[in-house]
Every structure is written in structure tokens, then in C-alpha cells.
Amino acid sequence: MAIGPFLFQAPLLVLLAAVAVAMIAAGSMEKRRGVAVQTPLWIALLIALLVARLGFVVRRWPDYASQPWSILNVRDGGFLAWPGVVALLIVLGLFMARRRALRVPLAAAGGFGLAVWLVVTLAVTQLSAAMQRPLPDLTLHTLDGASVSLKDFRGQPTVVNLWATWCPPCRREMPMLIDAQARMPGTHVVFVDQAESPATVRAYLQQLPHAPRNVLIDDAQQLAKHFDLRGTPTTLFVDADGIVRNIHVGELSAATLAEGLSHTAPSHVPGASP
């Protein structure tokens, strides 16, 4: 989802909405009861986010092990919800156990926030499942001008990366995607440039240590328009039948690439046998 020049993943927007509701409730409780509620709530939320990140790192540790510093790159959106929720409840419980005056306001504020997060997350999940659509039968072009139909990639899980040479996060994730392409012969990785000239794309790719395969140009940004995508990088995870199972908005890491591929076929993850 795009707001102005900024890209947001749906889970982040859901989290922000839940935090906003919790903080509004906490502010109301502070006025009514004269006790500081927002500070312990913020502490609990920050600890929950840290635990959610660590949970995802543990789950995808083989993908982080070769580049441990990438753990700090939270721009990849790698968080695991349930450890974070458990941590949030534990920290809130500790605050309430230590200060009796915090029990009702923290329980109310935390309860409102968790309720919003749970209801909206379920709604978004159901909506996402209902909106899973086939990859359109579009014809794009290689750097040499040859026509390639997207339907030609059916039969194997496919990662379709919408990118541009001027996009910093696209450039950061490109080497990782090229490496994954080389290590996953059973999965197509397709790079769809957004309306740049072949000369511009070729000049950029020549600077890379290894050249990617399946580089296409979408002159009219047909694919982005079809799925109402408004920014780069955006990555589509498509199953072998050509159905888009997941869409990742923003920069990928090796871990979030593997997570996205798990929606298409559990065996088709980086490093797995084809």
C-alpha cells in the first residue's frame, strides 16, 4: 500500500492502527485515574517487537547465518507475530503485578489494542486469500526486444520482482536475488523493470558481478497496474499453477524471500533441492 511517497506492508498498517487505539485508550485512562499508563505500554510494545523480530530470526536462522548483520535490517519486514504477542502479555502482566493501580488501565488499553490487531489481521488475511489471482497473461520484452509471455513461467514456483535501476532498495536486494536465482533451479526468478529503457537497464546490470537471467521490461507498467501496485520494489510469489499467493512490498532479505516462497511450495526455498 502506498501513502504519498511511502510504501507500507499491510501488517505494519494493522500494527500502527492497533498501537494508535491502545495509546488513545491509555491516554483516556491516564486522565480518569491519574496514573501513567502510556510509558509502561510503550515499553511492553517495544519488547514485543524485539521478541517478534528474534522469533522470525530463529525461524529463518539459516538464511541469516551467512550475513548476521542483516538481522538489524528490519526493513525486510521479518517479524513473527505470536512470540511478540506472548511477550507483550507477559510484560503487561509484570507491570500489573508490580503496581495495582495499573491493572485496570493497562488491561483495558492492551485489550483494546490486541482486539483491534486480531480482528483487522483476520480480516486482512481473509481478504488476501480471497484476492489471490492468476498472474496475468502479459507479454513483456527482453533487453534485446524479444517478446516473452508471463505464462511461459508456469509449471514452477516463480518470484516476480518489480524493480527499477533508480530504486535504492531494489539495488540492495538485487545481488541476493541473483544469488537465489543461481541456487534455485526449480524456481523461476523474474526481474520486471518498470518502464526504463533497455540501455539504462543494461548499463546498470553490467556493473554487477553476476548477470541475472529473465530480465524483462514492462514499458507500460501493465503488471503493476493489474495488481494496483504503486511502488518498487514489490515482489510477487507465484505458485506452479500461476496463482499469486503472496505479495511482499518493500525490500527483501534472504529470510523474507524464503518466507514468501513458503506460500508457493514449502520445498522451494533457497538452498532446497528442486
Q: What is the pLDDT of residues 153-206, one digit of tens each?
A: 999 999 999 999 999 999 999 999 999 999 999 999 999 999 999 999 999 999
Give the residue, 13 or 100, on which the prediction is more confident: 100
The answer to whether 242 and 166 have CB atoms below 8 angstroms apart is: no
pLDDT value of residue 181: 94
Show the CA angle centred on residue 66, arms to residues 80 and 271, nearest 5°.
Answer: 80
pLDDT band per the 50, 70, 90 thresholds, residue 9: low
Contacts of 240 (CB under 8 A, 6+ apart): 154, 155, 156, 157, 264, 265
234-261 pLDDT per residue, tens: 999 999 999 998 888 889 999 999 999 9
C-alpha span between 126 and 13 (Å, rounded): 16
Domain 139-261 sits in CATH at 3.40.30.10
Give the residue, 238 or 121, on which the prediction is more confident: 238
Burial 125-139 (b: 16+ CB within 10 A, else e): eeeeeeeeeebeebe
C-alpha span between 39 and 164 (Å, rounded): 42
Q: Provide the residue ranges of all domains of the chain, joining segments of one domain with +.
A: 2-130, 139-261
pLDDT value of residue 202: 96
